[in-house]
Structure 1
Amino acid sequence: MRQMRGIRLVLAGAALTASSCTPAMVNQQSEEQTIRAISSDWQRAIVAKDVEKIVSIHAADAVVMFSNSPQATGSAAIRAAYAGLVNIPGISLMWTPTKIDVVSPTVATDFGSYTLAYDGPQGRVSDSGNYTTIWHKVDGQWRVAVDAPVTATPMPAAGAAPQVMDLADMQSSSGAAVTWGDFTSPGFDPGAKIAVLHGNPGAKGDYTVRLQFPDGYKIPVHWHPNGEHATVLSGTLGLAMGNTADWKAVRDYSSGDFLYLPAHHSHFGIARGVTMVQLHGEGPLEIKLGAGM
């Protein structure tokens, strides 16, 4: 009897161990359909220039790697990258998943092909390529964790003149048509807004953006790898150069005042009243907290 009892205990233990090792079931078809629906929403958001919708489809720490562009990591960088992309004249971007594989209840992979077209200085520019996307389920919702489109366009032959990938010669935007989004960057308090007027601040090339700060907003000590050209459009911007925030050193700049902030030189500031500043420079626009040169 004792031997039989021991055998039963061993079998029961083996059954428990086997059940604990059984992977969670995944409804491949249902989860794949959900991801395809989100992918379609993503494409519609690009057509609508709804940058906030695009950002919401990505995880907070997502990584986007566009061809020929610096890696964009986190919501702020992805917002800046897409704000530039959707405002390219005549932009058309579409993709088709080839295969979506839900490898676990919280991870899926997606690869396929894309087509891209926009209006360039010499006419319509077209591109095509492939992409790989990794999806993570965050709080019950599928979100993009990594997105890596890769162009299939051949490199120009040695000695050939490179194609200029820039916007049309003439671009204009009325003040009423400017689209504002939340500006978020590590170390910066919430409350600031950003609008991209020209180019892609997250990529190489010239860009123009506007920043709006609420009254009393403090800009922490930071620096940029590239120089910055700043014009105060409204309100008053208090700004000083230095590796530590000495607020007694701040000088006020009013509407119409221009500042050039050299690369690698730390600066900090404060908004006195609701303040709008326009920045332009050579991208990518990177923000580095703390002391520079």
Structure 2
Amino acid sequence: MTQQNAADVIKARYKAWMEAIRNKDLDTVMDMYADDATYMPPGRKPIVGKAAVRQNWAAYLQRDSFVANYTPTIQVSQSGDMAFDIGHYEISMKKDGQPVTFVGKYVVVWRLIDGQWKAVVDIDNDNGPSA
């Protein structure tokens, strides 16, 4: 698989990931993560292991009108088995019945595991309030 083909496959995984979030499809969201994945949400300690990441995403998907949109920029390693994405996100939901939006940046490290790209490290960093 060429680096460009790998990047295209990962971008397709992102599309499925965002669709799964909109559909509140926890199993498909979790299919994106490796068993030993680490998720680092803004303002909280790292969440390690797929079971803990699943618990976190289950809570996210229970939020009213939760939608996430990520803009991936994929870089694939020369060896073709690792990739990283440095991008931007926008997350919207309702909090106390009112719409809120968070804008930030993220990094996802991907590893090719048994022929499928899986997120092994996922970190979000909110931009904070706009000036």
Higher helix share: 2
Distance 2:63 2:45 in 1: 18
Shift >2 Å, 4+ stretches: none
What residue is the counterpart of 2:32 in the other structure?
57
Structure 2 spans left out of the alignment, 5+ residues? none
Q: Does 1:144 align with 2:119?
A: yes
Question: Secondary structure of 2:90's partner?
Answer: strand
2:109 to 125, 134, 138: 134
- Count of paired positions: 129
Q: Deviations over 1:83-141 (max 9, x none)?
A: 000110111111111x2110122100111100011111262111100010100000111
Distance 2:82 2:129 in 1: 32
1:37 to 4, 8, 12: 12
TM-score after normalising by structure 1: 0.43
CA contact (8 A) 2:40 2:122 kept: yes
Question: Secondary structure of 1:67's partner?
Answer: coil
Distance 2:69 2:19 in 1: 9
Question: Secondary structure of 1:60's partner?
Answer: strand
Q: Does 1:96 align with 2:43?
A: no
Question: Secondary structure of 2:42's partner?
Answer: coil
How do 1:76-95 residues align onto structure 2 when only pairs under 5 Å count? 76-95=51-70
Q: Deviations over 1:173-232 (max 9, x none)?
A: xxxxxxxxxxxxxxxxxxxxxxxxxxxxxxxxxxxxxxxxxxxxxxxxxxxxxxxxxxxx
What residue is the counterpart of 1:109 in the other structure?
84
TM-score after normalising by structure 2: 0.92
What residue is the counterpart of 1:12 in the other structure?
none
Distance 2:50 2:97 in 1: 33
What residue is the counterpart of 1:124 in the other structure?
99
Question: Secondary structure of 1:110's partner?
Answer: strand
Give the AA of the match of 1:55.
M
Q: Say which structure, 1 or 2, has more relative contact order (CA 8 Å, 6+ apart).
A: 2
Aligned-pair distance for 1:147?
A: 0.5
CA contact (8 A) 2:3 2:80 kept: no
Structure 1 spans left out of the alignment, 5+ residues? 1-25, 156-293
Give the AA of the match of 2:57.
Y
Distance 1:108 1:150 in 2: 19
% identical equivalent positions? 29
Question: Secondary structure of 1:37's partner?
Answer: helix
Give the AA of the match of 1:118.
M
